[in-house]
Amino acid sequence: MTRTALVTGASRGIGKAVVQRLLADGVRVCGLYRTEGEAAQLLAKELESASPKGIALQCDISDEQQVHAAVARCAEEFGGVDVLVNNAGVTTFSLLDNLERAHWDSMFATNVTGPYLVTRAVLPLMGPGASIVTITSGLGITGAPGKTHYAASKAALIGFTKALSREVGRRNIRVNAIAPGIIETEMSAVGLNPELRARYEGQCALGRIGQSPELAEVVAFLADHRSSYVNGQTLMVDGGM
């Protein structure tokens, strides 16, 4: 039986790698993206030509109406949803003294309210054996200067994951999170100058920065029966920081 996955932030970075990994497992994918452009066009083309065929939908996950419309379209096309990957997220740098309320609210709108809206909309489409995987961050556990808003939003997702796993576990729906360290993506590259890269590599036991396909392997594991007794967990995937 073909499984269906809904992946947010599907056109770039970790989300793109997750889509490609799930397609390799024969999963039908509904990929959500926020911004039109070349990356979104490539996603749509890849899903259109996949077997089984998927769809790409534009959706700002912080907008409740857009979320309901996208999930309804996914349900119309494919019926139920077996796997939800809450991947979309944003990050910026700002010390708390200079952090404006608008930046705080914007961070939480995408990183916390977005996964809440998508998960709430998708849950009625999920049956026994379904899996929810949320990408949080190692900074949600460790924190870092200049990242109070980001770390707080990602810590919220860890609590969300633990609580929701207790709510829906008796329906045999599993809920887990992944807390990556530094992963090579377009988003992380913005502030990753050579000096900072060298520092991270020096702190990591494996001596390198992680790659998106490595994280996608963990998502694929949590998404299927291989992890059937893993629930309510946040897995650190950071190379040993």
151 has a pLDDT exceeding 80: yes
Instruction: Name which of 133, 128, 123, 119 is nearest 172 in CA terms.
Output: 128
pLDDT value for 193: 80
Can you name the CATH fold of 4-183+212-237?
Rossmann fold (3.40.50)
pLDDT range class, residue 108, cuts 50, 70, 90: very high
Mean per-residue pLDDT of the chain: 95
Burial class (CB within 10 angstroms; exposed 0-12, middle 13-18, buried 19+) of 3: buried
Cα distance between residue 140 and residue 151, in whole Å: 4
The number of CA neighbours under 13 Å toward the Cβ of 223 is 29
187 has a pLDDT exceeding 90: no
Instruction: Name which of 179, 171, 181 is nearest 210 in CA terms.
Output: 181
With the C-alpha atoms ordered 60, 63, 67, 69, is the resulting torsion angle positive or negative?
negative
Q: Is 150 among the catalytic positions?
A: yes
pTM: 0.95
pLDDT value for 195: 83
Tens digit of each residue's pLDDT (9 = 90 or more) over 14-34: 999 999 999 999 999 999 999
Q: What is the mean pLDDT of residues 166-173?
A: 98
Our measurement of the distance from residue 41's CA atom to the centroid of its chain's CA atoms, rounded to an integer in Å, reads 20
Helix (H, G, I), strand (E, B) or coil at 140: helix
188 has a pLDDT exceeding 70: no
- The residue from 33, 150, 200, 229 that is catalytic is 150
Q: What is the mean pLDDT of residues 146-164?
A: 98
Report the run of H or E that residue 162 belongs to, with start and end. helix 148-168
Q: What percentage of the chain's residues is helix, strand, coil (to nearest 5)?
A: 50, 15, 35
Residues 30/31/36/38 CA torsion (nearest 10 deg): -110
pLDDT range class, residue 191, cuts 50, 70, 90: low
